[in-house]
Amino acid sequence: MGAFINKLSTSVRKRLGIGHSLNELDPDLVARELFFCAPALTPELIAAVKLISPQFRLRGDEPSRRFWELNQNGVCWGEYLALEPFLKALPEPSQVLDLGPGLGRSAIFFKKIMGWREVPFHLYEGAGESTKYTKAGPRFDDSFCGTPEALETLLRHNEIESYRLFDAGEMGGEISGLPGPYDFIYSFFAIGFHWSIVHFLDDLLDLMHDRSIGAFTLHDRFTDLDALSHVPHRVVEMRRSWPRGKTSRLLVLGKTEEALSG
């Protein structure tokens, strides 16, 4: 019976309201080295996860913790493998910007896998009490749904020290006040995914120099690549760890072609 339940698909599990199974995850991505480590899922942490990932049904038990940890690590691997050629060509950055870090999985992962522990990461996040996600929609200034205390708990748990948290709420949702330029800017499942990249483009380019790169998850509904025709860019495919078999597109952009060709 247990083996049968484990094999149920993601959609059937959701319909029956039962928890997640590791079988829902991409087996190759979750078998890779673990860089993102999750602590026990307290009620506060579950609430913080729910705000940024309402699609998950997590409980305060070890199977849920392990599912979340492996999925977070797996999605980071999917992004990393897609971006590897660009990242390998990038000199060690002097500063990196994560727009909408959520619970910090990408900052933790990049710092560990790239050997960037000492590189200052600027994390731009705002506290919020509800999720107001759109799909490739317009920009608005109260879209934030982060939990800064939980983000810092995750960073501490992973022994990440060199970072600075910027309060998006205090900054009125603007990014132009951030102390750029940044060598590497990214926003995963945030700018580009929920809110179309087009609305942020000028601000993002102002935070970059000629050799910087930016990477953004694109929503399947994003079709406006023409709006990016004046900016050097590539679109690469990444494998998602959940649900297994699904892919997403990542937009990689620079101010110059040289930035993208290493």
Ligand X SMILES: C[S@@+](CC[C@H](N)C(=O)[O-])C[C@H]1O[C@@H](n2cnc3c(N)ncnc32)[C@H](O)[C@@H]1O
Shorter beta-carbon distance to ligand X: residue 100 or 254 = 100
Q: Maximum distance among all alpha carbons in the chain?
A: 58
Q: How far is the CB of 102 from ligand X (least distance, A)?
A: 3
Residue 145 binds ligand X, judged by CB under 6 A: yes
Rounded CA gap, 53 and 2, in Å?
A: 26
- Interface residue with ligand X, options 32, 105, 111, 249 (CB under 6 A): 105
Q: State the number of binding residues for ligand X (CB under 6 A).
A: 20
Q: How far is the CB of 4 from ligand X (least distance, A)?
A: 31
Residue 52 binds ligand X, judged by CB under 6 A: yes
Rounded CA gap, 128 and 176, in Å?
A: 21
Contacts to ligand X from residues 184-223, by CB under 6 A: 187-191, 195
Non-local (6+) Cβ contacts of 143 within 8 A are 128, 132, 133, 173, 194, 195
Of the ranges 4-12, 23-31, 121-129, 248-256, which one interacts with ligand X (CB under 6 A)? 121-129
Which tokens is 136 given?
Answer: 């490739």
Amino acid at 161: E
Shorter beta-carbon distance to ligand X: residue 116 or 133 = 133
CA distances from 241 to 75, 79, 181, 189 (A): 5, 10, 32, 14
Binding residues for ligand X, per CB under 6 A? 52, 99-102, 105, 125-126, 128, 143-146, 173, 187-191, 195
